[in-house]
Structure 1
């Protein structure tokens, strides 16, 4: 198809126009060549040409001369027909637009009418709408206020039933009471919010009402706790939980809490006093049941009587403390917090700022101490009667030790500040005063009877009795487990009263004896005292002092025995003479010229020494045989013999030195015997002396 079109000749119209043109040949030639150039320059790849060719193919046009001649006309005719149809269609559209325009015009008119009607209606209903809007706002405000009022009533106002539960004494103190009380306390606390608002009248009214309700509730709780305390059974291991809770709550009013504790302590004091009196006498009240025999009927010994009373008091204290621990220790922190909150509401009750507000242990000890006030008073009366009605010093001291032991126990139970400890301190002091008075009376009686020491120089009877008493006192002190920082210092008072006066009496008897008997008598008395004190750790200092005194007397006895040996043996003149001789040669040469060393005197002394030595120790021991310690007799004699041997060795050394000097200065003449030396006249040697005196 495309080939045919390309090969077709130029249209005849071009020829006719060319031939008919009267222009110049050059102008026609230019138009033709321009056209040819446009055709030839057209790109067959152009989309428009391609579309045109595809259109011709779709129409099924054949490439003939006829077709080529009428192609333009056919195309133009089709274009004209299409344009006619378009105009016809636009005519129909124009008619429709006319009808739509009429309809729109009618609608605009209707809208204008409606707008005028709406504006008129709006003008008429505007006041009503404003009024309705105001009413709606008022309704919203009323609803909001109603909600606030309901919330206020629900939070700040108690119902009549709740008020009756809180204040009526006819209703019990139960869980509802505590819940209502908690709510009222919250109301009272939240009144601060109301007081911070512009209108404080409501807050003041609610605060006043809640304060009255709280005061009435605490008064009701106070009376209820008092009534419960009257029937509270402390023997029951499970004390009513409501009482513990009530005490914790009541602690928010420190005044009522303290009054309640005072009432409880007073009631318990009467109960314990009645129980103690019944335990003593057997006259039990209706509320007291006796499980054992009365103390006064079965305790015939005074010490046991006092011990049974103290044991009953201790058992009652332990039971009372264990029972009250449930009330004050298990709830201790809560009670402390409650009291602190109460002091914040009652600041005039505060003491020093440094003081601790509440301590459960301290409060427990104070209440137990107050509960035992009546018992302690009765215990003091009975114990003082026992102490004053007996003149036995040992009994008084044992009672003092027993009281001291229980005082130490009560310190662990109730603390150092308990008032009950004052009773024990007074009783202990009373017993010790009675002990001292009895001992002084006994010493005075003994001193009036003291005359002479026994013939055998043994400890006198009054000292033996005193030592037996001291032994019993030491045993009592040792078994008392008394709390002393220094046990020796604690026992010193006993030694002062029970030993020293009697040792002083022995010293007075010693003055009436001669020197030897006096020392022997003193040693015997001191040994007896030491023997009693041995075995006790708290008497070591006194034993040491006694031993020092014994050593002084023993030294005097050794000196006496030494003098006896030197005098009896005849060595005394020799030692006295040699005491003035020095170690110089001239002094040693003068020894033979001394009177005791002259031949006759020295031979006599030697003979006296020989006669003395066989029975020397036996004779010396006879001098101190009345010492109660055989070992001490032997030791004293041995020491005196040792010193005697030393004296003999000294004399022997001087004699040997003098003989050596004499031989050197005076050699013997021929045919004559040398003069006898000092050694020849005094032949005993120190070795022989030691053997004979060993």
Structure 2
């Protein structure tokens, strides 16, 4: 049996923390290790201790990279540390070298209080030395201040004495200064008055001297002179009334202004004389301003413009004669009189030159009077009822400038007009003259001399033209027709006359400007149409009647209609002949009616129904139609047979006689009208035959035996008439 072993008690060891708490060295170490030296005060204290007690040694390199340290004893180290605190440490470094550990700390404990007191004593000594030097400087400064006070007192005393002695002089100087200021104010007022109400020597010289040219300085001086006069008049209109100074100023400025205006007139007259020698008319700013200022003196402006008018008259006349005889520079353009063989070009070139000259003259005068901003639109009618003063001047000057052109222009144009034998050429010249006459009236007015001259020339041209066409119409009336000519077309004389009328109408159509009223267009051509158409119509009728009398077989109505329709075709080309067309159409309608009636009777004769229809129309109401010799059944049967045969012929479609009409429309119109009347006559015959009172036996059988079988609708279809 085993016995239990004795129990073993575990051994308890003290823990490390408990041991460290009871060990003073460990506690000291833990305390040191746990202390923080991061605060600034601790760092600064340690730095101070390091500077005081750290051993100073110089480290120098040696061969074999060995470092030699010079070790000092405690006292030397302490003295060295104190000296090092005062000196620079640029090339040295403090290294803690202890032969015995803790030696430096022990030294610091022993000498710390003494060293700090010594250091404080040294600092206090330095402060005392510095303050002593400051005290010496302050004493020297106080000495200077005392001297300065003494000098100031002496100067103040002298100033008081001087002030008392110069008081009267200062008062006199003040009075003199006040008087000087008043005099200067008066001088400035006088200078301003003189500058405002008098002219300088240069300004007077520019106004009166002939050596000074007219320009901006001259006009500025004139403006100032006029302004002085206006201001002076305002001052003199006050309560005090006119003064001697004001009257003197008015007198002087009047003299200067009169001299200035005389100078402007002389200069303008000279410049206007030179303008006649220059091919291009240009107006400068100085000339325009001079004319504007002369408007205030109309008598002086009249004098200057009179010189301009004479110069321009001579210049334009010379230029016109040169254009007629010599042409332009170097012969181009060629002289106008070289084209005298061509009347239209000759007259047109002369009128175009005059018109161009007037346009250039108008532009020159508008520039002279500075009216460019009031120019009318090209082609518009100028309004002469409400004209400004400048417009009146321009109108009068233009009239005078072209006055000398009227005589040579009138002589040459009238000579050209009288030499024309062709009515067409005369009409072209008259229309050309009328166009330029209207243009001149719109440009320079109806009362201008050139407008009156052109009006006279135009009337003369139209007189020559009307004389020519009247002579032509008279010659047409004296024309005799060829009796051997069997044609029904218009004769050659009528065709030539109509061709002349057509060309005259074309010329008139081309001469229309486009703004005429319809009534104005028609009225202007009425006289020409009357002179040309009426004799032609009369000639056609008389010649037709005369030839019809001499040749009864000749168809005069067809001839007359052909002539009338040919004249109408000529008139239809233009709208301004509507009145004459209506008159001629009435004559044609009358002849068409006559020819229609005649053609209807011819159709009745050709169809064999003339006697039958005549009997139906003329029978008495009591006598039966069947008892009349012309309408008894046998005669009626033969007439219906003849009518049936006629319906099968070509005359139903067209009439050989009417085919000679030159207007196919009239052929159809007349033939259809006659067929329509024939249809009505046949219907009358059928109605009369069917009446019981006319006592026809088997009337329907009688009518139905031949075409159209008593049916009016069938006959209408045969004739090709509408229902």
Shorter-chain TM range is: 0.5 to 0.7
For 2:595, the equivalent position in structure 1 comes to 557
For 1:172, the equivalent position in structure 2 comes to 213
Q: State the SS of the aligned residue for 1:621.
A: coil
For 1:635, the equivalent position in structure 2 comes to 669
1:461-480 matches, cutoff 5 A: 461-480=492-511
1:277-292 matches, cutoff 5 A: 277-282=321-326, 291-292=332-333
1:671-686 matches, cutoff 5 A: 678-679=702-703, 684-685=708-709, 686=712
Does 2:306 correspond to 1:267?
no
Provide the rounded CA distance (Å) in 2 between the counterparts of 1:199 and 1:294: 70
Q: State the SS of the aligned residue for 1:239.
A: coil
Question: Could you list the runs of 5+ residues in structure 1 that have no partner in the other structure?
Answer: 1-124, 334-354, 664-673
Provide the rounded CA distance (Å) in 2 between the counterparts of 1:529 and 1:323: 52
- Note the C-alpha offset of 1:601: 2.6
- Note the C-alpha offset of 1:692: 5.6
Q: State the SS of the aligned residue for 1:478.
A: helix
- Note the C-alpha offset of 1:434: 0.9
For 2:256, the equivalent position in structure 1 comes to 213
- Note the C-alpha offset of 1:467: 1.1
Provide the rounded CA distance (Å) in 2 between the counterparts of 1:517 and 1:281: 61
- Note the C-alpha offset of 1:199: 4.9
Q: State the SS of the aligned residue for 1:439.
A: helix
Aligned match of 2:461 in 417, 431, 452?
A: 431
Please tell me whether the aligned partners of residues 232 and 250 of structure 2 are also in contact (alpha carbons under 8 angstroms). yes
1:537-548 matches, cutoff 5 A: 537-548=575-586
Does 2:366 correspond to 1:322?
no
Please tell me whether the aligned partners of residues 365 and 414 of structure 1 are also in contact (alpha carbons under 8 angstroms). yes
Please tell me whether the aligned partners of residues 327 and 334 of structure 2 are also in contact (alpha carbons under 8 angstroms). no
- Note the C-alpha offset of 1:385: 1.4
Please tell me whether the aligned partners of residues 624 and 694 of structure 2 are also in contact (alpha carbons under 8 angstroms). no
Deviations 1:249-278 (A, max 9, x none): 222212222333333233222212211111
Q: How many aligned positions are there?
A: 527
Please tell me whether the aligned partners of residues 690 and 699 of structure 2 are also in contact (alpha carbons under 8 angstroms). no
- Note the C-alpha offset of 1:143: 7.1
For 2:61, the equivalent position in structure 1 comes to none
- Note the C-alpha offset of 1:553: 1.1
For 1:597, the equivalent position in structure 2 comes to 631
Aligned match of 1:379 in 409, 414, 439?
A: 409
For 1:460, the equivalent position in structure 2 comes to 491
For 2:149, the equivalent position in structure 1 comes to none
Provide the rounded CA distance (Å) in 2 between the counterparts of 1:407 and 1:359: 25
Q: Which moved more, 1:591-600 or 1:169-178?
A: 591-600
Aligned match of 2:425 in 360, 374, 395?
A: 395
Q: Which moved more, 1:148-157 or 1:484-493?
A: 148-157
Closer/same/farther in 2, CA of residues 423 and 558 from structure 1, 3 Å limit: same
Provide the rounded CA distance (Å) in 2 between the counterparts of 1:356 and 1:642: 69
For 2:348, the equivalent position in structure 1 comes to 307
For 1:441, the equivalent position in structure 2 comes to 471
Please tell me whether the aligned partners of residues 387 and 434 of structure 1 are also in contact (alpha carbons under 8 angstroms). yes
- Note the C-alpha offset of 1:164: 2.9
1:412-431 matches, cutoff 5 A: 413-414=443-444, 418-431=448-461
Please tell me whether the aligned partners of residues 614 and 692 of structure 1 are also in contact (alpha carbons under 8 angstroms). no
- Note the C-alpha offset of 1:160: 4.5
Please tell me whether the aligned partners of residues 476 and 535 of structure 2 are also in contact (alpha carbons under 8 angstroms). no
Q: State the SS of the aligned residue for 2:334.
A: coil
Does 2:701 correspond to 1:658?
no
Please tell me whether the aligned partners of residues 234 and 320 of structure 1 are also in contact (alpha carbons under 8 angstroms). no
Please tell me whether the aligned partners of residues 376 and 423 of structure 1 are also in contact (alpha carbons under 8 angstroms). yes
For 1:225, the equivalent position in structure 2 comes to 268
Please tell me whether the aligned partners of residues 599 and 681 of structure 1 are also in contact (alpha carbons under 8 angstroms). no
1:84-95 matches, cutoff 5 A: none
Closer/same/farther in 2, CA of residues 190 and 437 from structure 1, 3 Å limit: same
Q: Higher relative contact order by CA 8 Å / sep ≥ 6: 1 or 2?
A: 1
Provide the rounded CA distance (Å) in 1 between the counterparts of 2:626 and 2:300: 112
Closer/same/farther in 2, CA of residues 561 and 448 from structure 1, 3 Å limit: closer
Provide the rounded CA distance (Å) in 1 between the counterparts of 2:373 and 2:669: 72
Please tell me whether the aligned partners of residues 226 and 260 of structure 1 are also in contact (alpha carbons under 8 angstroms). yes
For 1:36, the equivalent position in structure 2 comes to none
Q: Which moved more, 1:178-187 or 1:399-408?
A: 399-408
Question: Could you list the runs of 5+ residues in structure 2 that have no partner in the other structure?
Answer: 1-167, 375-384
Closer/same/farther in 2, CA of residues 170 and 570 from structure 1, 3 Å limit: same
- Note the C-alpha offset of 1:386: 0.8
Deviations 1:572-594 (A, max 9, x none): 23223322569xxx86x933233
Does 2:529 correspond to 1:488?
no
Q: Which moved more, 1:301-310 or 1:372-381?
A: 372-381
Q: State the SS of the aligned residue for 2:404.
A: helix
Closer/same/farther in 2, CA of residues 532 and 662 from structure 1, 3 Å limit: closer
Deviations 1:468-510 (A, max 9, x none): 1111111111112346332122222221223322222223223
Deviations 1:398-448 (A, max 9, x none): 011112223344455446665533333222211111101122222233333
Deviations 1:305-324 (A, max 9, x none): 11111222222233333333
Closer/same/farther in 2, CA of residues 579 and 165 from structure 1, 3 Å limit: same
Provide the rounded CA distance (Å) in 2 between the counterparts of 1:181 and 1:693: 102
Provide the rounded CA distance (Å) in 2 between the counterparts of 1:332 and 1:681: 96
- Note the C-alpha offset of 1:662: 6.1
Deviations 1:38-90 (A, max 9, x none): xxxxxxxxxxxxxxxxxxxxxxxxxxxxxxxxxxxxxxxxxxxxxxxxxxxxx
Please tell me whether the aligned partners of residues 530 and 546 of structure 1 are also in contact (alpha carbons under 8 angstroms). yes
For 2:616, the equivalent position in structure 1 comes to 578
Does 2:317 correspond to 1:293?
no
Q: State the SS of the aligned residue for 1:499.
A: helix
1:307-386 matches, cutoff 5 A: 307-330=348-371, 358=388, 360=390, 363-386=393-416
1:466-545 matches, cutoff 5 A: 466-482=497-513, 484-485=516-517, 486-512=520-546, 513=548, 517-545=555-583
Does 2:283 correspond to 1:239?
yes
Please tell me whether the aligned partners of residues 565 and 620 of structure 1 are also in contact (alpha carbons under 8 angstroms). no
Does 2:647 correspond to 1:606?
no
Closer/same/farther in 2, CA of residues 357 and 154 from structure 1, 3 Å limit: farther
Provide the rounded CA distance (Å) in 2 between the counterparts of 1:463 and 1:438: 16
Provide the rounded CA distance (Å) in 2 between the counterparts of 1:266 and 1:442: 48
Closer/same/farther in 2, CA of residues 217 and 651 from structure 1, 3 Å limit: same
Please tell me whether the aligned partners of residues 473 and 535 of structure 2 are also in contact (alpha carbons under 8 angstroms). yes
Closer/same/farther in 2, CA of residues 554 and 675 from structure 1, 3 Å limit: closer
- Note the C-alpha offset of 1:140: 9.1
Closer/same/farther in 2, CA of residues 368 and 683 from structure 1, 3 Å limit: closer
Provide the rounded CA distance (Å) in 2 between the counterparts of 1:234 and 1:324: 15
- Note the C-alpha offset of 1:627: 2.4
Please tell me whether the aligned partners of residues 235 and 323 of structure 1 are also in contact (alpha carbons under 8 angstroms). no
Q: Under a length normalisation based on structure 2, what TM-score does the superposition of the two structures give?
A: 0.65
Q: C-alpha root-mean-square deviation of aligned residues, in Å?
A: 3.8
Provide the rounded CA distance (Å) in 2 between the counterparts of 1:357 and 1:407: 21
Provide the rounded CA distance (Å) in 1 between the counterparts of 2:204 and 2:351: 52
Provide the rounded CA distance (Å) in 1 between the counterparts of 2:618 and 2:372: 95
Deviations 1:86-132 (A, max 9, x none): xxxxxxxxxxxxxxxxxxxxxxxxxxxxxxxxxxxxxxx9xxx9xx9
Higher normalized helix content (fraction of residues): 1
